[in-house]
Structure 1
């Protein structure tokens, strides 16, 4: 009797048929972008460092005692919110995996859905891990060499562990997503972001970028437009929400005398933004109300953004709406 060949551990999570045309099958979806999601304070540190730094693995992974340092990325889009935070850094998958080695790590079956994990690296892990060949199409990640296209099985969670720092100059975008209302990976801490609307987290993050640090690459937060260099979508929505928070309640009549062109205007506006970053909304509004009206605060905000991020003034007209 012939000996039966054991199935590879990834076969259970094999992708389905490659879609014909634009229609995406749940079990075979296009894999173009991957994301690293972080909580607010971690995202601020990432921006200040200019990269996502490798870290130790702390969960029940088979690599948690190996001292292997990794950065986590995933193509997953969280319908019920992410347990990893609100701020998502986007990367081009093809660029990240080109010329690398791939290893199957494990499946975390205690997760719902199950989470398959694959290590992407330039190092040799043959002695402790099984190499994974994405061109075979027998697992959750498939690379079609003929079309130069990547696919993944969206019925399950897919996690990539990169054994390198990821500089933000190769990141393509930053976006804001909901935090899961029940689950958070910060098990040993009380998560202040968990119950907060993503719009508020967005505003706090952008407030810090504007007022809290100069150690950032502003190119990630701007885009070319017909009107010139413009704020990226997440940056734009963050500024809009900052203005909304500063203007409420609209019936408030007690405003100060500060104008956008006054010497103390920029200092006052930055102080307000730092209060907002710290989630001190009362103090934030008190500082905003040192201005003569919300339009003067907006004018000052524009001046700071134009100077720091190099955006062109016509692209900021949305703040006048």
Structure 2
């Protein structure tokens, strides 16, 4: 039995279940990194260093997720949003793993160009049209299992020309993945984060066109999860 069967998104979606429509994913980061990303006009792919099967592969990725968190994110306060169908158009999917040490469990799926040969650690093809895992395509609509932490690993840089919007999130009040107790954003209100980022975006407008098509959305926290993914 494939590993992903344990995390199946039930179809058709139950009326009160946890199978949710997937329209958008986002990457979260701290303000300093977000400013640098805006200057670079892209989210740069990076190597994986955690407990993932990819931590020995030289494959840089951009992390994205569909999850939102009630207590805030451990990974930052600025969300870069992308339309799901535009992001995955013409791409292949590969199953990486499920990290059960996370609460809830995190499932990880690699998204890459057909010309890319995935590393052995992520060489199991995943077909959302056929496979009964946490990501599924049914009757013209994408779905995911919202009871788990979704981690979609995009094997390329993401240009901000593809950006659909920003969100400004509450940081987790006690946990920060990167700076621990030294993180100054743990007590920072979303309005301050938004003011910093939007001021920088507007300043950059004089030099380039990177304002997201969907605009900026402040405090977009409508799905509650007690964990945080990379995104």
Tell me, yes or no, whether TM beats 0.5: yes
1:15–1:141: 8 Å Cα contact kept in structure 2?
yes
CA distance in 2, matches of 1:172, 1:102: 22
CA distance in 2, matches of 1:86, 1:11: 33
**2:184 corresponds to:** 192
**SS at 2:55 equivalent:** coil
**SS at 2:192 equivalent:** helix
**1:134 corresponds to:** 128
Distance 1:67 1:215, change over 3 A: farther
Which of these residues, 75, 84, 91, is aligned with residue 93 of structure 1?
84
**Structure 1, unaligned stretches of length 5 or more?**
1-6, 224-231, 238-321
**1:255 corresponds to:** none
**2:228 corresponds to:** none
Q: Deviations over 1:76-103 (max 9, x none)?
A: 1122211111111111111111221111
Q: How big is the shift at 1:187? A: 4.7
Aligned pairs (5 A) from 1:235-246: none
**1:176 corresponds to:** 168
Q: How big is the shift at 1:188? A: 6.7
2:99–2:107: 8 Å Cα contact kept in structure 1?
yes
RMSD: 2.3
Q: How big is the shift at 1:104? A: 0.7
**Structure 2, unaligned stretches of length 5 or more?**
220-231
CA distance in 2, matches of 1:100, 1:41: 31
CA distance in 2, matches of 1:164, 1:9: 25
- Kindly indicate which of the two structures has a greater share of residues assigned to strand: 2
TM, length-normalised to structure 2: 0.85
Q: Which has the higher contact order (CA 8 A, sep 6+)?
A: 2
- Kindly indicate which of the two structures has a greater share of residues assigned to helix: 1
1:124 aligns with 2:117: yes
Q: How many residues align?
A: 216
